[in-house]
């Protein structure tokens, strides 16, 4: 049978991994796909750049527009990144009847609704397993494996850079800045790490997971995002003393009022499996009404881990090429005419528990004032820990764990606590999820 011909946009780390894995496992992949998959054309910003992999048998194309319209290409594999020029190239490929495989979470989180609609119109597929959690097949799990379930919530460690930083801060008692510099030296963090440490990368991925789980259009602009750059080793240590670990979590949950879509540092009980996922590893916990909680973990980045997901998509597209377009697995798991524009809840309406750290002057009546304010806001206390003052100091740290409450109520209470004359600093607030 005639091979499937792939045009590759991007010859970076993932592009090289895709070429090498496809070449190394060529026969095994062909046995699974039913026919051979061959990269016949490729392009990159700098075609003269030396690379650590062979481009033998691949025709290099100077202009990416020529590649996405090339008559001999069946699938365009987009591994460039970005969401402007790349969007135009992907839409042009779709308009020319090409199927698309992409690892570009930002592109789909921002423009996914338009891209999926174009693909539906032109009867082509857009596959994006590699866009979330690298080699962990979480997209296929949600779209197919758990299709019998009503998904209740998803909580994921979906950014390896942030997870590495938090793991090292906890295990070594080091500060954020020093571990960030180490992550940059090791190649885990970019020179400009903003997307990773401020939760933007995780929010791109969570937006896709949420849309698939709940059958909604992608709505990245409504995601709440809070990063890890302001976390201190002190709070990580206190959390551990209370039996918790802090992770940057992406959380999406269906409620009767709307869908939660949020990324932020989160306390998780240390006994949960996901709390023990360390280093650059990713993990996604999915709660379905029938199956219960299921956990998926593995390498979330790297040339061959991501290539594994890219090639799995190439295999899927190859298998489905001759199928009726109306009966393929929908891009967002639900049939296009069955998507619902369910509202995304603003963070003020989200209900969760909290870790609060108060820096208070060591005077009588302080805790009576604090507990009264919390009671006035209908916030009950689950646990409390008061630390000894440093020698020669009259300021103590008080840590309070609350039961679940609506965030706008917690905000009002925190504002009142901060106005007390006995408070020496702003209240440190970190959300807490039991994930049970």
Q: CATH homologous superfamily of domain 4-135+303-338?
A: NAD(P)-binding Rossmann-like Domain (3.40.50.720)
Active site residue 205: yes
Domain boundaries 350-432, corresponding CATH code: 3.30.70.260
Q: Options 3.30.565.10, 3.40.50.1100, 3.30.360.10, 3.20.20.140; which CATH number does 138-298 get?
A: 3.30.360.10
Instruction: Kindly report the backbone phi and psi dihedral angles of residue 84, in degrees, each rounded to the nearest multiple of 5, phi listed first.
Output: -115, -75
Question: What pairs with residue 7 in β-bridges?
Answer: 41, 76
Q: Which two tokens stand for residue 293?
A: 């909680």
The catalytic position among 205, 222, 230, 271 is: 205
Residues 6 or more apart in contact with residue 391 via CB below 8 angstroms: none
- The Cα 178–Cα 160 span in angstroms is 17
Res 327: pLDDT? 78
Q: How far is CA 235 from CA 230, 240, 272, 356, in A?
A: 10, 8, 19, 10
How many residues appear in the chain?
436
Res 241: pLDDT? 94
- The Cα 295–Cα 310 span in angstroms is 21
Domain boundaries, the chain: 4-135+303-338, 138-298, 350-432
**pLDDT tens over the chain, length 436 residues:** 899 999 999 999 999 999 999 999 999 999 999 999 999 999 998 898 989 899 999 999 999 999 999 999 999 999 999 989 999 999 999 999 999 999 999 999 999 999 999 999 999 999 999 999 999 999 999 999 999 999 999 999 999 999 999 999 999 999 999 999 999 999 899 999 999 999 999 999 999 999 999 999 999 999 999 999 999 999 999 999 999 999 999 999 999 999 999 999 999 999 999 999 999 999 999 999 999 999 999 998 889 999 999 999 999 999 998 787 877 888 888 888 888 999 999 999 999 999 999 999 988 889 999 999 999 999 999 999 888 877 767 899 999 999 999 999 999 999 999 999 999 999 999 999 999 8
């Amino acid at each position: 049978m005639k091979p499937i011909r792939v045009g590759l946009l991007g010859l970076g780390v993932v592009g090289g991994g895709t070429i090498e894995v496809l070449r190394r496992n060529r026969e095994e992949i062909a046995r699974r796909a039913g026919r051979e998959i061959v990269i016949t054309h490729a392009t990159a910003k700098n075609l003269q750049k030396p690379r650590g992999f062979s481009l033998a048998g691949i025709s290099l194309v100077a202009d990416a527009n020529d590649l996405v319209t090339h008559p001999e290409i069946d699938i365009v594999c987009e591994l460039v990144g970005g969401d402007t020029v790349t969007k135009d190239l992907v839409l042009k490929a779709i308009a020319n009847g090409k199927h698309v495989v992409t690892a570009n979470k930002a592109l789909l989180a921002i423009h996914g609704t338009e891209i999926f609609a174009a693909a539906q119109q032109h009867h082509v597929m857009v596959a994006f397993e590699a866009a979330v959690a690298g080699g962990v097949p979480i997209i296929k799990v949600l779209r197919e494996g758990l299709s019998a379930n009503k998904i209740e919530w998803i909580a994921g460690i979906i950014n390896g850079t942030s997870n590495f930083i938090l793991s090292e801060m906890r295990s070594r008692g080091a500060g954020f800045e020093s571990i960030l510099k180490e992550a940059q030296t090791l190649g885990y963090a970019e020179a400009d790490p903003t997307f990773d440490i401020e939760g933007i990368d995780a929010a791109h991925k969570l937006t896709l997971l949420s849309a698939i789980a709940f059958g909604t259009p992608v709505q990245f602009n409504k995601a709440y995002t809070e990063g890890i750059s302001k976390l201190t080793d002190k709070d990580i240590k206190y959390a551990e003393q209370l039996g918790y670990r802090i992770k940057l979590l992406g959380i999406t949950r269906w409620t009767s009022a709307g869908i939660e879509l949020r990324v932020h540092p989160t306390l998780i009980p240390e006994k949960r499996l996901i709390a023990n996922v360390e280093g650059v590893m990713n993990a996604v916990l999915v709660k379905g009404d029938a199956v219960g909680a299921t956990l998926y973990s593995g390498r979330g980045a790297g040339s061959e881990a991501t290539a594994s997901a890219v090639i799995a998509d190439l295999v899927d597209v190859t298998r489905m090429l001759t199928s009726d377009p109306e009966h393929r697995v929908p891009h967002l798991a639900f049939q296009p005419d069955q998507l619902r524009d369910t509202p995304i809840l603003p963070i003020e309406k989200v209900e969760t528990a909290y870790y609060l750290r108060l820096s208070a002057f060591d005077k009588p009546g302080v805790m009576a004032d604090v507990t009264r304010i919390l009671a006035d806001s209908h916030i009950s206390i689950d646990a409390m820990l008061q630390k000894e003052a440093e020698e020669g100091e009259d300021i103590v740290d008080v840590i309070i764990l609350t039961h679940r409450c609506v965030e706008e109520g917690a905000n009002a209470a925190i504002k009142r606590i901060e106005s007390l004359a006995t408070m020496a600093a702003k209240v440190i607030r970190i959300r807490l999820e039991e994930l049970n």
